[in-house]
Amino acid sequence: MTRIDDLPIRDELRGKTPYGAPQLDVPVRLNTNENPYPAPDALVRRIAERVAEAARDLNRYPDRDAVRLRAELAGYLSRTTGHPVAPEEVWAANGSNEVLQQLLQAFGGPGRRALGFDPTYSMHSLIARGTGTGWVPGPRTEEFGIDPEAAVAAVHEHRPDIVFVCSPNNPTGTAVDPGTVLALHEAAQRAAPGPRGALVIVDEAYAEFSHRPSLLPLTEGRPLLVISRTMSKAFGAAGLRLGYLAADRAVVDAVQLVRLPYHLSTVTQATALAALEFADTLLGYVEELKAERDRIVAELRAMGCEVTESDANFVQFGRFADVPAVWRRLLDRGVLVRDNGVPGRLRVSTGTRQENDAFLDAVRAVMKEIS
């Protein structure tokens, strides 16, 4: 039997494992920060209509530049952030993972490095590796925030070509304030290894769940500041695979140099357009999830857990001496949460009220067992 290590794969991939959380069939699945609400019936019908219409044209390649979709995404961003965004300042791809990969293909690569603040979304470093870009971990505070002085010092020390700021951050839930992003952006430009500056990518996958406004207005007059977004979380459309970015139109032009032609299928574009028609309804669910998230934080604290402040649709909690044992005990009670490898901590996604109750009951029981 041929094994992966027998293959002439790139050296940096040798011995590595693919990204992925367990996809286990358990009653309460709260491990991948999905939105627990299925699409409402009216949206399902609208998707069927739009996809049926699009199906007639499947003999043709899709709109390569996704013009209508980008216009609708620009409208959504303008409406929800109060900051005007033009369709030419938006780019879309198959999930924000692909958006990030395209950015690193265009702005990273061999001989270049990206800096991000660990613990953070692990795909940032994995996409760096996949594109041959170096990865430098930056510091976080004890409370998992970013201290502007320490962060700026790390940028000056490592002189990255790309800086990742994940806000709200996965897996900790912590948001970054605009002043810190501006300080990082300024430092990144001053310390940039090349004459044309460094790219700052703000990953706002969970922006809609935050107590704070989007960082999007910071892009004004800053062509090297990029905001990355997704329909996987707030729109409850993880299965759709639709991510997008907002940035200066030159950045949008740059990613078009590396995107595969026709990367966004006609079916994906039609489905995303249908979901965007229901943005207000779906944002109503987001409000419910935010209230549930705040309830989880309060109840875990009342049980004596240490809980990280959360601006996302998930909550980091602990501290546990034996994290894998607690994870397993919760699973034995039918509740799947995530061990992200952060010492002493687990992460739970916000589910429906019933799922959250089941999770909280399970934690209560486990806390009793281990105390």
| Bridge partners, residue 93, by sequence | 243
Gap between the Cα atoms of 266 and 60, Å rounded: 9
Give me the least distance between CB of 154 and ligand PMP, in Å please: 20
Give me the least distance between CB of 240 and ligand PMP, in Å please: 9
- C-alpha distances (whole Å) from 266 to each of 59, 67, 244, 256 are 10, 12, 16, 18
Q: What is the DSSP code string of 262-330?
A: T-S-HHHHHHHHHHHHTHHHHHHHHHHHHHHHHHHHHHHHHTT-EE---SSSEEEEE--SSHHHHHHHH
Q: Which of 29, 30, 33, 226 binds ligand PMP (CB under 6 A)?
A: 33
Asked whether position 340 contacts ligand PMP by CB under 6 A, the answer is no
Asked whether position 34 contacts ligand PMP by CB under 6 A, the answer is no
CB-based burial label for 25 (10 Å; 0-12, 13-18, 19+): exposed
Residue span binding ligand PMP (CB under 6 A) among the ranges 81-89, 91-99, 215-223, 361-369: 91-99
Q: Which of 232, 271, 308, 316 binds ligand PMP (CB under 6 A)?
A: 232
Amino acid at 163: V
Asked whether position 230 contacts ligand PMP by CB under 6 A, the answer is yes
Give me the least distance between CB of 191 and ligand PMP, in Å please: 24
Of residues 100-159, which lie at the interface with ligand PMP (CB under 6 A)?
A: 121
Q: Which of 151, 152, 154, 166 binds ligand PMP (CB under 6 A)?
A: 166
Q: Which of 31, 35, 96, 269 binds ligand PMP (CB under 6 A)?
A: 96
Residue span binding ligand PMP (CB under 6 A) among the ranges 8-16, 213-221, 230-238, 276-284: 230-238
Q: What is the DSSP code string of 7-58?
A: S---GGGTT-----------SEE-SS----SPPPHHHHHHHHHHHHHHHTTT
CB-based burial label for 239 (10 Å; 0-12, 13-18, 19+): exposed
Q: Which of 31, 35, 81, 170 binds ligand PMP (CB under 6 A)?
A: 170
Give me the least distance between CB of 33 and ligand PMP, in Å please: 6
Beta carbon nearer to ligand PMP, 19 or 302:
19
Q: Which residue is nearest to ligand PMP (CB)?
A: 95
- Positions that interact with ligand PMP (CB under 6 A): 33, 95-97, 121, 166, 170, 203, 205, 230, 232, 238, 243
